[in-house]
Amino acid sequence: MTTMAPRPGRGLLPPVELLALLDDAGEPVRGQAGGLPMPGPDVLTALYGSMVIGRRLDTQATALTRQGRLAVYPSSRGQEACQVGAVLAMREQDWLFPTYRDSVAIMTRGVDPIETLTLLRGDWHCGYDPYRHRVAPQCTPLATSSLHAVGLGHAARVKGEDTVAVAFLGDGATSEGDTHEALNFAAVWNAPVVFFVQNNGYAISVPLAKQTAAPSLAHKGIGYGIASMRIDGNDPAAVYAAVRAAISAAASGAGPTLIEALTYRIEAHTNADDAARYRSAQEVQSWLARDPIARLERYLRQAGTLDDGQAADISAAAEQAAARLRDRMSAEAQTDPAEMFRHVYAQPTVALATQQAQLEAELGAPHPELR
Amino acid sequence: MTATLAPITPRQLAAEAAPVSMAAALNRALADALEADDRVVVFGEDVGVLGGVFRITDGLATRFGESRVFDTPLAESGIIGTAIGMAMNGLRPVVEMQFDAFAYPAFEQITSHLAKLRNRTRGRVELPVVVRIPYGGGIGGVEHHSDSSEAYFTHTAGLRVVTPGTPADAYTLLRQAIDAPDPVIFLEPKRRYWSKQTGVLSADDPPADAAVVRRVGRDVTLICYGGMVATALEAATEGTAEGWDIEVIDLRSLSPFDDATVTASVRRTGRAIVVHEASRFCGYGAEVAARISEQCFHYLEAPVLRVTGYDIPYPPPLLEQHHLPSTERILGAVRRLQWDDNA
């Protein structure tokens, strides 16, 4: 039975004010939580530790790019509250669908940094097993994986699994058609999906004002019947609480949620970009003052949850992680030309086997693995 | 009478009492695949209650329930993209693109993800997805309902591309496509949906990836597929009146390509013509002709010819008969194959 009448309102509109739990100075925010609970001390400490390590690995990856060890690296510096808060809010059985800027999120999920950076190092496209940590492959087309997230979440429901798919998107990607198809499919199917939009202000060089005329990116969920919220994306407590709530809702059958997290990309798009051409140093400075790690550190210290010793331990752990990454990256990447032919189909075709043999003849000798 | 029935293996069904149309054979293949494997799901635009605009999924939603056969929102990229996610999570989606040209919004999902995720992940992510696309002309369709889009897909590594020429083969190829571990673009020649055939429906025979010699001949090899198989066979029959003994190969699998069957035939006949509805320039026939010249050069008595659609956008319904390869055009090409030693 079809009805032409609009559905009754489900309170989809995001509140006018950003949801936040901690302000720029690390003080608890009053009256802006929108019902989000402040995470407990253990969670906040874990968020802090993972953000410190994540940022250190991110700056290390940028340095490795300057040294020519990575072909390119899209930094997420400044976005650690999103990268870490959203991932730590996920349960083991949930799936992460990251974008190419979400390497810190992937490493936070437990993927080996070397395997995470394989795409950017260039020895293969995806270096990790997506099933091991339930992290979909990174790749450079935007928004396409949001549909994969919806399909995976829908399949989980059909199979009776308690799995929620968390689709990461950027502000630019919300202009792509696939984002809209994904929102619509997820809503119609009531799929267990969380759309997590990191609005970092720029799609390479194009600012949000040239990306959308909508009052906010969160408003894009409403037309599809998806409950949407806007949060301070530099507030790790708010990100964690919002994603946690959205995952709980999806898991309980309440359907998808869109979360717009306001944050800022401190670095240029990649090492190959010159951000000075499209934004001012003053703007960057204003966002540095809203740093997600500094604000959580202040809160934890004031609450007595973090002392100098603990902070030093975390800092040392981050240095160790960076040193390990540096050492492992200093070895030359191993590649096998035969692998180009191996995974195209389940079984190589006759034509592929022939071309592989031609390449090997050209290279002089079969690869050791093929002897 | 039951005592006289031979045992039926699960993979081979008894001959239909009445002739079966290609549409019915496809419907039967979907039903049998849904029955055989709980992981198979069928979805797309109008495939549920309506049974598809060509009724290929008729009755399946009622029989298997809406969790396994269902309508989607009207968005082709969404259909392929969600199929990818479902396959990542263990399902075996069989999706329908309503018409050839309506599959283009899904092009990125097909070429950048469906075709490449296995390779991207070193074989860890397997996508057994079948994309059914009614394709080609000959049914009087308005613009965007008659495209032959095979070359877009055969050019993309990681995809299998198949197309049946007969009702029985529609059943075989679709069962094989659904069982395949790779993504398959399944092109259905819509002008042959209503053609009928009596015979055994087999899920195994002929084997996947193999071309089939539909008619044995001495003089020339016609290489064709999909909607052109019937046309080529008709031309071969008409050609006997002129004394031609024409061999017809139905490729079935456009990618991968069965070089062995084609090469053996052309080396025997010494002459080859590729026939397809699609435009000529950079069309599938160019690849076939190139492979033949690479592998059969010293056996050839004449250049490989192509009988194809023109290099034009698909024409409106009242003009399409001028565009589509006809038996006369095929026989005209046969006559041009340098039969006179002095020519």
Spatial separation of the C-alpha atoms in residues A153 and A163, rounded to whole Å: 7
Does residue A16 lie within any of the structural domains? Answer: no
In the predicted structure, residue B16 carries a pLDDT above the cut 60: no
Q: Are residues B303 and B198 in the same domain?
A: no
Q: Are residues A217 and A345 in the same domain?
A: no
In the predicted structure, residue A1 carries a pLDDT above the cut 70: no
Q: Are residues B22 and B146 in the same domain?
A: yes
Q: Are residues A311 and A269 in the same domain?
A: yes
Nearest to A154 among B82, B181, B257 (CB): B82
pLDDT at B302: 97
- The one catalytic residue among B113, B145, B276, B323: B145
Q: Are residues A359 and A266 in the same domain?
A: no
| Residue numbers of the domain that contains A286 | 41-330
Q: Are residues A229 and A348 in the same domain?
A: no
In the predicted structure, residue B17 carries a pLDDT above the cut 90: no
In the predicted structure, residue B5 carries a pLDDT above the cut 50: no
Q: Are residues A311 and A352 in the same domain?
A: no
In the predicted structure, residue B11 carries a pLDDT above the cut 60: no
- Do the Cβ atoms of B118 and A343 come within 8 Å? yes
Nearest to A345 among B87, B182, B259 (CB): B182
Tokens of B219: 């003089």
pLDDT at B60: 98
Q: Are residues B192 and B236 in the same domain?
A: no
Nearest to A324 by CA among A53, A101, A35: A53
Mean pLDDT of A50-58: 98
pLDDT at B200: 86
Which of A139, A336, A341, A345 would best serve as a mutation to test chain B binding (most B beta carbons within 10 A)? Answer: A345
Q: What is the pLDDT of residues B158-215, one digit of tens each?
A: 999 999 999 999 999 999 999 999 999 999 999 999 999 998 899 999 999 999 999 9
Q: Are residues B34 and B175 in the same domain?
A: yes
Q: Are residues A237 and A308 in the same domain?
A: yes
Q: What is the pLDDT of residues A352-366, one digit of tens each?
A: 999 999 999 999 865
Mean pLDDT of B34-53: 97
Q: In what order do the strands lie in the sheet with B212-215?
A: B212-215, B246-250, B220-224, B272-279, B305-309
Q: Are residues A346 and A248 in the same domain?
A: no
Here the CATH number for the domain that contains residue A300 is: 3.40.50.970
Here the CATH number for the domain that contains residue B239 is: 3.40.50.920
Mean pLDDT of B85-103: 97
| Residue numbers of the domain that contains B260 | 212-335
pLDDT at A5: 56
Spatial separation of the C-alpha atoms in residues B201 and B13, rounded to whole Å: 6
Q: Are residues B116 and B16 in the same domain?
A: yes
Q: Are residues B216 and B169 in the same domain?
A: no
Q: Are residues B217 and B88 in the same domain?
A: no
Outline where chain A has alpha helix (H).
Answer: 41-66, 80-88, 103-108, 113-116, 118-121, 130-133, 144-158, 177-189, 219-222, 236-251, 281-288, 292-302, 308-330, 339-342, 350-363
Q: Are residues A310 and A346 in the same domain?
A: no
Q: Could you give the number of structural domains in chain B?
A: 2
Does residue B178 lie within any of the structural domains? Answer: yes
Of residues B167 and A8, more confidence is placed in: B167
Name the minimum distance, in Å, from the CA of A146 to any CA of chain B.
Answer: 8
pLDDT at B52: 96
Q: Angle A144-158/A177-189 helices, nearest 10 degrees? A: 10
Residues of chain B with pLDDT > 90, as a percent, come to 92
Q: Are residues B172 and B218 in the same domain?
A: no
Tell me, yes or no, if A155 comes closer than 8 A to chain B by beta carbon.
Answer: yes
pLDDT at A303: 96
Q: Are residues A247 and A354 in the same domain?
A: no
Q: Are residues A189 and A45 in the same domain?
A: yes
- The pLDDT mean for chain A works out to 94
Given a contact cutoff of 8 angstroms between Cβ atoms, the answer to whether B337 and B273 are in contact is yes
Using DSSP's 3-state secondary structure scheme, residue A225 falls into coil
pLDDT at B343: 46
Name the minimum distance, in Å, from the CA of B155 to any CA of chain A.
Answer: 13
- Do the Cβ atoms of A124 and B122 come within 8 Å? yes
Q: Are residues A306 and A353 in the same domain?
A: no
- Do the Cβ atoms of A185 and B78 come within 8 Å? yes
Half-sphere exposure (CA, 13 Å, Cβ side) for A354? 5
**Lowest model confidence (mean pLDDT) among A204-213, B93-102, B309-318, B332-341:** B332-341
Spatial separation of the C-alpha atoms in residues A340 and A124, rounded to whole Å: 9
Q: Are residues B24 and B155 in the same domain?
A: yes
pLDDT at B13: 52
Q: Are residues B28 and B166 in the same domain?
A: yes
Nearest to B73 among A188, A343, A344 (CB): A188
Nearest to B328 by CA among B210, B239, B201: B239
In the predicted structure, residue A369 carries a pLDDT above the cut 80: no
Told to judge if A269 belongs to the known catalytic residues of this protein, a careful annotator would answer: yes
Q: What is the pLDDT of residues A260-285, one digit of tens each?
A: 999 999 999 998 899 999 999 999 99
Q: Are residues B122 and B271 in the same domain?
A: no
Which of B50, B80, B82, B122 would best serve as a mutation to test chain A binding (most A beta carbons within 10 A)? Answer: B82
Told to judge if B145 belongs to the known catalytic residues of this protein, a careful annotator would answer: yes
**Lowest model confidence (mean pLDDT) among A32-36, A61-65, A157-161:** A32-36
Does residue B276 lie within any of the structural domains? Answer: yes
Does residue A10 lie within any of the structural domains? Answer: no
pLDDT at B2: 37
Q: Could you give the number of structural domains in chain A?
A: 2
Q: Are residues A323 and A345 in the same domain?
A: no
pLDDT at B14: 47
Q: What chain A residue is nearest to B122 in terms of C-alpha separation?
A: A343
Domain end, chosen from B174, B202, B230, is at B202
Consecutive H or E run containing A165: strand A165-170
Tell me, yes or no, if A209 comes closer than 8 A to chain B by beta carbon.
Answer: no
- The pLDDT mean for chain B works out to 94
The interface predicted TM-score (ipTM) is 0.94
Q: Are residues B92 and B154 in the same domain?
A: yes
